[in-house]
A and B are shown apart, each in its own frame.
Chain A
């Protein structure tokens, strides 16, 4: 394990630091890629053959424990995979060309997220978790400082909440080891337990990007370089956040109905809220970031169902989402790389020039919308089944209502996601080119293409053969067998779809023989003006403009509902109160004391005028007083 530890955690940080001082750009990139591929290989080896746990003494009776369990080795291998692919992609990304710290940040990020997976005690877990926060800030600061600060504030607050929750948990259970599958869980029957649960939940959800802690993601999307968006909010943060959520809801606490209710409600609200905001976006990156938030809702929903199927669905969706979300961001990056813009209004018609990017983009878009035979459908299908199973098993009417609401929200969210991505595909790839000068837009480099193709391939593979993936990657962690209640054979469906497409292709090819006349547009002698054509950004305008929905949108975008502003505002208020009521008050008392001394000295000064008569009068007064005292005895 020590050797694995070295390659997975120590080596990337050291190499990354060394890269800061390397002058040659090429050497820097190659070394980074090499290190990450070593990490990927190690994680694969660890997945196949688990290693012995390692214990390091910190201080006193506190020992750090490094051990993989069935869930963390899944996270380990996928986080290394995404790190590797993103690194490969960013080798040719022009915006990052002269940003020296980028590879250092990327390597350290992967190193610390590996450490999160390897942690089996709370101290090391918090250490590595917090380090990913520092690196989140560092990576986002490559874009703009203020969005980095917002992310730091929100996720930092969540981290502190996690620390508090963890300390409460340790206080309640008495052990710093993170409970594993069969170990004793904390029962939620007293306030301390609930407090610990809530605080830890906040920590997990803010990292993953669930509402109401999500506002840092769209803001970051505005300025951060695309590879940073692809690795952080899209994949790594989701993997780590949902990993923690999984441990909390399954390992640390005994699952109960209230927990289910909270998770279901949060999940469904996130789905709906975020996807509605995504529908009105005009910037490609913000659109994708809102969808990233929305998809987290599905994962949280899965854990809220409380069934093995639902939990497995949540985990499966986490993996799938990471795959297609990072794929989408990388596709967007390719588009931005060539077109230098992310505005949907200024893009279009790129399918002709960037066929590989287009094909992969369509693949990811269909995945996220939940269209078979892609992986998004497989996990959403499992999710619906899990929700129904939970519905059948629940007794309380309120909980049943919440289950039904969640199911409707999930399906409605899927529909809106599809709508949004039709707009995405049309605006970016289809339609006429909207720019006047038709620059030569070519396909991106091989490295960038390779990363995107691998991800698209995974989408298809996991969609066609989800059973295999579930059996080897997810089932080992669950105590119960996953039990499907619906009828859907992915392999058969994929084959049928392929056959259908093939038949269609044959028909089209066969008919191609007939000559089709091509001619110019004729609109009564006018010149065709494509400015009045129907751009994709206008697709849902009618719905947007509907009065109740318009009011809903303006409400959702209110500044003060942003948790960040609420948090900052309340902290500042508290700070003012503490400052004025305590600190300034004490300062006032101190000044008063000094003033008192001055007053006393003024009085005494007035008594010592230097005039002899006054002193004689004082002495006489003293003599009289003494006389009276002596007489009184």
Chain B
């Protein structure tokens, strides 16, 4: 229990420390805090595996209580988010070295990871909402980091859309309270809620995880510094939505089939529209942002199938996507860092001078596309199989067509940037943290896919219900 509390409050309080400290210590202290938090989260997993759920509760009044709960889903998400966060913090050591305002950057990042952890472990809906909004604020400040006109506009757009969704989420919370008089997730387990309430929750989730029709903020958020895009908008923040979906709709409330079928529809439309849009764009980060939207559609589809196996598949998908998408964004960041442009039409021929980046890109890209033996293959294939088994033929077919689009747009990016004639010279630094991090992510995507039973066993052990 102590571990749990430390895990949550260490980054939050640590971020304040980062804010106060003089500039030369900010970066390293943040990395240290995140590393420490990562270790605690792994410790928590081992504690969890020995006992069962861990609960901490301080009752305040009937609608708000400081309650935290660590079950299989929560420890998995926390460990994954902190792992990716830690790697990205390492990456940003070098990436953000030249910016004067980088201090504020670390403050917001650590605060974000702290509130993310708080959200994951929250066992009270209103507490969850508080952390949800803190992450929105962090995202808002981080997107507009460069303080130019277009950055601020993108940040405002992101904040307003997610705030709109969050407001609907809040209305849903109020309705739940009015119906049941409590907001404790443990007490609400097995309770059924009206479709209206469920759809209001879904609106909030869709805004956070950038599903249609609330997806337009994510491509615009590409103006942020690369570590921000990789952390928030690829690996961690956008997973909040799907995490809450899993928490509320798969593990807590009972819902009607109409709701799940609607969720499947939304996810299917998102998959195909985002995949198509990615094939049209020419800005590296926008392509990858649309790819994220599309892949989140897959995760949502897996969760919306609402069976035990599909739930576990969704978790493996989250694992595969977080690793590989972070890797792709960080590669894009490396390229942007060295060449100064994000437009793929202005780039070319970088394979010779940036071989490690190219290798890491291909490894991560194949995982996202779903080519064996990479990690991304397993959940994608099982998802198609499960969709067909549940009778959703259109969903399964769209999943495969989406994968075909993914193949084309990711390889198109690779071809334009790495093959062909050299338009802008760029050379990578083989010994930097940045290259190491992208290679680690790429190799992990391959390795975890090869040892195919490892991720499956992990998920099986964590999720027992």
Select the stretch in B16-24, B211-219, B253-261, B319-327 that faces chain A. B211-219
Total residues of chain B contacting the partner, CB 8 A: 58
A149–B369 Cα distance when bound, in Å, is 14
Tell whether, in the assembled complex, residue A586 and residue B381 are in contact, meaning their CB atoms are under 8 Å apart.
no
Of B276, B309, B377, B397, which contacts A574 at CB under 8 A? B276
Of A134, A145, A176, A582, which contacts B418 at CB under 8 A? A145
Q: Report if A160-B403 is in contact (Cβ < 8 Å); known contacts: A579-B280, A583-B274.
A: yes
Tell whether, in the assembled complex, residue B453 and residue A571 are in contact, meaning their CB atoms are under 8 Å apart.
no
| List of A residues within 8 angstroms of B422 by Cβ | none
State which residues 332-364 of B face A: CB under 8 Å: 351
Q: Is A262 an interface residue (CB 8 A)?
A: no
Q: Which residue on A lies nearest to B455, using beta carbons? A: A59
| List of B residues within 8 angstroms of A123 by Cβ | 381-382, 385
Q: Report if A58-B388 is in contact (Cβ < 8 Å); known contacts: A575-B277, A587-B216.
A: no
| List of B residues within 8 angstroms of A134 by Cβ | 366, 371-374
8 A–B pairs (Cβ distance < 8 Å), ordered by A: A127-B452, A152-B411, A156-B371, A160-B401, A160-B404, A568-B408, A571-B408, A590-B161
Q: Which residue on A lies nearest to B389, using beta carbons? A: A171
| List of B residues within 8 angstroms of A168 by Cβ | 388, 393
Q: Which residue on A lies nearest to B212, using beta carbons? A: A586
| List of A residues within 8 angstroms of B272 by Cβ | 578
Kindly provide the distance from the CB of B458 to the nearest chain A CB, expressed in whole angstroms: 11
Tell whether, in the assembled complex, residue B404 and residue A128 are in contact, meaning their CB atoms are under 8 Å apart.
no
Kindly provide the distance from the CB of B254 to the nearest chain A CB, expressed in whole angstroms: 22
Tell whether, in the assembled complex, residue A58 and residue B452 are in contact, meaning their CB atoms are under 8 Å apart.
yes
Of B273, B278, B453, which contacts A58 at CB under 8 A? B453
| List of B residues within 8 angstroms of A157 by Cβ | 404, 407
Q: Is A341 an interface residue (CB 8 A)?
A: no
Kindly provide the distance from the CB of B21 to the nearest chain A CB, expressed in whole angstroms: 38
Q: Report if A128-B372 is in contact (Cβ < 8 Å); known contacts: A568-B408, A590-B161.
A: yes
Of A60, A153, A576, A589, which contacts B309 at CB under 8 A? A60
Tell whether, in the assembled complex, residue B381 and residue A126 are in contact, meaning their CB atoms are under 8 Å apart.
yes
Q: Is B239 an interface residue (CB 8 A)?
A: no
Tell whether, in the assembled complex, residue B407 and residue A164 are in contact, meaning their CB atoms are under 8 Å apart.
no
Tell whether, in the assembled complex, residue B279 and residue A133 are in contact, meaning their CB atoms are under 8 Å apart.
no
Q: Report if A58-B456 is in contact (Cβ < 8 Å); known contacts: A123-B381, A156-B404, A157-B404.
A: yes
Q: Is B396 an interface residue (CB 8 A)?
A: yes
Q: List residues of chain B with CB under 8 Å of any chain A CB.
A: 157, 160-161, 212-213, 215-216, 269, 272-281, 308-309, 312-313, 351, 366, 369, 371-374, 377-378, 381-382, 384-385, 388-389, 393, 396-397, 400-401, 403-405, 407-408, 411, 414-415, 418-419, 450, 452-453, 456, 459-460
Tell whether, in the assembled complex, residue A586 and residue B215 are in contact, meaning their CB atoms are under 8 Å apart.
yes
Tell whether, in the assembled complex, residue B415 and residue A146 are in contact, meaning their CB atoms are under 8 Å apart.
yes
Q: Is A622 an interface residue (CB 8 A)?
A: no
How many contacts between A and B, using CB within 8 angstroms?
Answer: 143
For the complex of A and B, the 4 pairs showing the least CB-CB separation, nearest first, are A578-B276, A575-B279, A130-B372, A575-B276
Q: List residues of chain A with CB under 8 Å of any chain B CB.
A: 13, 56, 58-60, 62, 112, 123, 126-131, 133-134, 145-146, 149, 152-153, 156-157, 159-160, 163-164, 167-168, 170-171, 176, 568, 571-572, 574-579, 582-583, 586-587, 589-590, 594
Q: Which residue on B lies nearest to A581, using beta carbons? A: B273
Q: Report if A163-B408 is in contact (Cβ < 8 Å); known contacts: A59-B456, A586-B216.
A: no
Tell whether, in the assembled complex, residue A575 and residue B405 are in contact, meaning their CB atoms are under 8 Å apart.
yes
| List of A residues within 8 angstroms of B452 by Cβ | 58, 127
Tell whether, in the assembled complex, residue B382 and residue A59 are in contact, meaning their CB atoms are under 8 Å apart.
yes
Q: Which residue on A lies nearest to B457, using beta carbons? A: A59
| List of B residues within 8 angstroms of A160 by Cβ | 400-401, 403-404, 407
Specify which of B276, B279, B377, B414 lies most central, judged by the most chain A CB atoms within 10 Å of its CB. B276
| List of B residues within 8 angstroms of A164 by Cβ | 384, 396-397, 400
| List of A residues within 8 angstroms of B351 by Cβ | 145
Tell whether, in the assembled complex, residue B373 and residue A571 are in contact, meaning their CB atoms are under 8 Å apart.
no
A160–B418 Cα distance when bound, in Å, is 25
A146–B381 Cα distance when bound, in Å, is 27
Contacts beyond the supplied A60-B309, A571-B279, A575-B405: 7 A-B pairs with Cβ under 8 Å: A123-B385, A131-B372, A164-B396, A164-B400, A171-B393, A575-B275, A590-B157
| List of A residues within 8 angstroms of B281 by Cβ | 579
| List of B residues within 8 angstroms of A131 by Cβ | 371-373
Kindly provide the distance from the CB of B382 to the nearest chain A CB, expressed in whole angstroms: 7
Of A145, A576, A582, which contacts B415 at CB under 8 A? A145
Tell whether, in the assembled complex, residue B388 and residue A170 are in contact, meaning their CB atoms are under 8 Å apart.
yes
Tell whether, in the assembled complex, residue A152 and residue B381 are in contact, meaning their CB atoms are under 8 Å apart.
no
Q: Report if A133-B371 is in contact (Cβ < 8 Å); known contacts: A59-B312, A156-B407, A160-B404.
A: yes
Tell whether, in the assembled complex, residue B280 and residue A575 are in contact, meaning their CB atoms are under 8 Å apart.
yes
A422–B369 Cα distance when bound, in Å, is 45
Tell whether, in the assembled complex, residue A149 and residue B415 are in contact, meaning their CB atoms are under 8 Å apart.
yes
A130–B450 Cα distance when bound, in Å, is 12
| List of B residues within 8 angstroms of A571 by Cβ | 279, 404-405, 408
A149–B381 Cα distance when bound, in Å, is 22
Tell whether, in the assembled complex, residue A56 and residue B453 are in contact, meaning their CB atoms are under 8 Å apart.
yes
Q: Which residue on B lies nearest to A123, using beta carbons? A: B381
| List of B residues within 8 angstroms of A129 by Cβ | 372
Tell whether, in the assembled complex, residue A145 and residue B419 are in contact, meaning their CB atoms are under 8 Å apart.
yes
| List of B residues within 8 angstroms of A167 by Cβ | 384-385, 388, 396, 400
Tell whether, in the assembled complex, residue B384 and residue A579 are in contact, meaning their CB atoms are under 8 Å apart.
no
Kindly provide the distance from the CB of A191 to the nearest chain B CB, expressed in whole angstroms: 11
| List of A residues within 8 angstroms of B407 by Cβ | 152-153, 156-157, 160
Kindly provide the distance from the CB of B302 to the nearest chain A CB, expressed in whole angstroms: 13
Tell whether, in the assembled complex, residue B276 and residue A127 are in contact, meaning their CB atoms are under 8 Å apart.
no
| List of A residues within 8 angstroms of B378 by Cβ | 127
A128–B381 Cα distance when bound, in Å, is 13
Specify which of B216, B369, B401, B459 lies most central, judged by the most chain A CB atoms within 10 Å of its CB. B216
A153–B403 Cα distance when bound, in Å, is 12
A583–B297 Cα distance when bound, in Å, is 14
